[in-house]
Structure formats: C-alpha cells, structure tokens
C-alpha cells in the first residue's frame, strides 16, 4: 500500500484515458497467444479507479489505477486465450497452461484446455447459473507502481489481488455480473482475469500495444 499511495497524477492519467473509452463503440483485443475478440460497447458507463475518493458517493480501491466499461449485452464475439502466466481471480493463480474461451453472443460457450481449464469449468459450473458465463467489464491497467509478479510473493489470504488488476498494460476482463453499472445480471460467480501482452484497440485508436500503454492516444 505504501508503494501504491495514489497521486493526483494517477487520477489525471486515468481520467485522460477515460475520455477515449467513453466515446467508443467497439473494443478489439488481440494477442500473439491467440486472443482475437471484439466487444461492442457504449450501453454502459465508463468507470475509473485511481485509488482515492474526492467526491461524495464515489467508491474506489487502494491500490488501484485502471478503467473499464461493460460490454453491451450480447455484443461480444471471438476468442480469448488466457496464456501461461496470466492470472485468475478470485483463485489468485498464475495459469500454467493455456485456456481458450470461445465467445459468441456475449457469453463464453466453451472453455478449452488442460487442468487449468478443467478447474475453471468446475468452479463456474458449481454456481449452476448461466449468467456466470457472460462477458462483464472490460478495460486495461494504468498503474506503473503495481506489478504482475506481486501475487507470487504473497499468501493468498494476504491480498485481494489489486496489483494483478491494475498493473500497467494489462487487459482486464471479467465474467459474470454487470449490475455495478446498472445492468440486469447479479450472479454470484465473478471472475476477474488480467491478461498480459495484449493489444487493445478502441474504435480506430490503439491504447495498449503488446502490453504497453500508449499515452499518446489520450493526448
């Protein structure tokens, strides 16, 4: 927490990026691992987190530093590859072999892979809720003082995984509820999954290239 004390510069940077996201109608995410997925966006608001609250009614995390919106209902199609070293939350695990999610009509239809995929399938099946498989929030990390490796240094119960959610250049997506942004889904099954080394394109603007935030895109 000392390492990630929030600053006004964090706030300005995230808010600058949010201006691009708020105006967009599509997010296209690709990676060398095989991710190629398109999300239609615009139905839900953009939400920013930068580690502190400066106005009544606002909620945030500390540590933090990222932004996201929610995919339009039924508006996600393609393939998401969770690569070796990517992280599953709430499991707080680094994936040891690839998991491929086939997405059609806003829902994950297939979860392919080896033992990590089997664990993910059983975890989600245990909720017995089809809404668990819906694409929920999508965005990217912008906190340079958060690190991908931090989770490996901590006992699972010692962290909520905020470094993993916020480290700069990740593509963070979730499965499950969207009621936080006013949507109808309230399923108790909620996974946050930060991916490394992705390219994120907002309409015609690349905001993250191969896991590196492109600040010029927000100028």
Decide if 1 is inside a domain. Answer: no
Read off the DSSP letter of residue 133: G
Q: For residues 41 and 24, what is the distance between their CA atoms, to the nearest angstrom?
A: 7
Mean pLDDT, rounded, for 106-112: 98
Range of the domain at 13: 8-218
Decide if 108 is inside a domain. Answer: yes
Decide if 36 is inside a domain. Answer: yes
Q: How confident is the model at residue 107 (pLDDT cuts 50, 70, 90)?
A: very high
Q: How confident is the model at residue 219 (pLDDT cuts 50, 70, 90)?
A: confident
pLDDT at residue 128 tops 90: yes
pLDDT value of residue 206: 98
To 5 degrees, how large is the angle CA 164–CA 209–CA 39? Answer: 75
Decide if 183 is inside a domain. Answer: yes
Give pTM, 2 decimals.
0.96
Mean pLDDT, rounded, for 102-129: 98
Tokens matching residue 1: 């927490």
Question: What are the tens digits of pLDDT across the range 26-78?
Answer: 999 999 999 999 999 999 999 999 999 999 999 999 999 999 999 999 999 99
Decide if 32 is inside a domain. Answer: yes
Q: For residues 26 and 72, what is the distance between their CA atoms, to the nearest angstrom?
A: 10
Decide if 3 is inside a domain. Answer: no
Decide if 2 is inside a domain. Answer: no
pLDDT value of residue 175: 98
Q: Domain total for the chain? A: 1
- In the block, tokens 């300005």 appear at 12
Read off the DSSP letter of residue 16: H
Question: What are the tens digits of pLDDT across the range 153-198?
Answer: 999 899 999 999 999 999 999 999 999 899 999 999 999 999 999 9
């Amino acid at each position: 927490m000392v390492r990630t004390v929030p600053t006004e510069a964090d706030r300005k940077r995230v808010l600058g990026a949010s201006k691009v996201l708020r105006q967009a109608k599509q997010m296209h995410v690709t990676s060398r691992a095989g991710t190629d997925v398109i999300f239609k966006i615009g139905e839900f608001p953009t939400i920013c987190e930068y580690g502190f609250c400066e106005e009544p009614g606002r909620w945030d995390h500390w540590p933090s530093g990222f932004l996201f919106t929610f995919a339009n209902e039924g508006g996600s199609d393609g393939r998401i590859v969770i690569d070796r070293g990517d992280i599953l939350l709430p499991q707080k695990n680094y994936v040891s072999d690839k998991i491929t999610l086939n997405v059609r009509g806003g829902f994950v239809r297939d979860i392919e892979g080896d033992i990590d995929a089997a664990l993910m399938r059983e975890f989600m099946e245990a909720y017995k809720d089809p809404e668990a498989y819906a694409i929920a929030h999508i965005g990217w990390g912008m906190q340079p003082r958060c690190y991908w490796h931090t989770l490996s240094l901590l006992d699972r119960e010692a962290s909520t995984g905020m470094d993993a959610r916020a480290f700069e250049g990740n593509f963070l997506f979730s499965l499950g509820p969207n009621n936080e942004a006013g949507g109808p889904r309230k399923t108790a099954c909620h996974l946050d999954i930060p991916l490394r080394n992705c390219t994120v394109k907002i309409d015609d603007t690349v905001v993250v290239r191969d896991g590196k935030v492109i600040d010029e895109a927000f100028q």
